[in-house]
Amino acid sequence: MRNLITEFKQMRLHGMASAWEELLANGPSSGVDSSRWLIEHLLKEEHTDRHMRSIGYQMHAAKFPMHRDLAGFDFDQSKVDSNLVRQLADLSFTESAQNVVLIGGTGTGKTHLATALGVSGISSWGKRVRFFSTVDLVNALEQEKAAGKAGKLAFALLRMDLVILDELGYLPFSQAGGALLFHLMSSIPA
């Protein structure tokens, strides 16, 4: 049986918690059983709605270039180890601050798989994810430094469970930008 008062308080519905306590104090003649059924269903729907809105927000905040998932990846047409990728999809490697590097030629599905891992992390595991093209990240770091706000982006990325860097090595960036990227990566605790 659900503890409604605890759930009300967890959802910051303190007024409802007080009202429920008063309703219980008035006894069974006050329609507690039918009220309980209604409230339990309303709470269940509120939990579901908050969870879905949170996923939507996190997907938007991740800034994926497009939505990709593992169901849409054709493992038969790739040399990728599907068992390993499915194992990585739970993002347990993030708990021990391990890195995953996807290496391969153009068109081999690295971006698709990286995005799918991020989507899985958000939708199934409640992880905070941020996707960057590496050149875009370097440009953002350079702009931040020029504006005198160096470190703000690094601080934001430290709160992420997973940061995906795409296209590392495909497009060149300045030596100063490379130094900023290296500094960012070295400042992340392992």
Question: What is the CATH number for 163?
Answer: 3.40.50.300
According to the model, what pLDDT value does residue 29 have? 62
Same domain, 111 and 175: yes
- What is the domain count for the chain? 2
Alpha helix (H) residue ranges in the chain: 4-10, 14-25, 32-62, 82-88, 110-125, 134-146, 152-158, 175-187
If the chain, 190 residues long, is cut into consecutive pieces of 10 residues, what is the mean pLDDT of each piece? Answer: 80 80 70 74 82 96 97 93 95 92 91 97 96 94 93 92 89 86 80
Map residue 91 onto helix, strand or coil.
Answer: coil
Tell me which of 41, 62, 83 is where a domain ends.
Answer: 62
First CA to last CA distance, the chain? 42
Separation between Cα atoms, residue 1 and residue 90, nearest integer Å: 30
Instruction: Give the Å distances, CA to CA, from 180 to 6, 52, 86, 144.
Output: 47, 36, 33, 10
Same domain, 8 and 102: no
Tell me which of 46, 62, 78 is where a domain ends.
Answer: 62
Same domain, 9 and 84: no
According to the model, what pLDDT value does residue 147 have? 95
Same domain, 9 and 82: no
Same domain, 75 and 58: no
According to the model, what pLDDT value does residue 27 have? 66
Same domain, 89 and 179: yes
Radius of gyration of the chain (CA): 23
Tell me which of 43, 62, 81 is where a domain ends.
Answer: 62
Same domain, 86 and 20: no
Same domain, 148 and 165: yes
Same domain, 24 and 100: no
Same domain, 58 and 76: no
Containing domain of residue 130, as a range? Answer: 70-187
Amino acid at 13: L
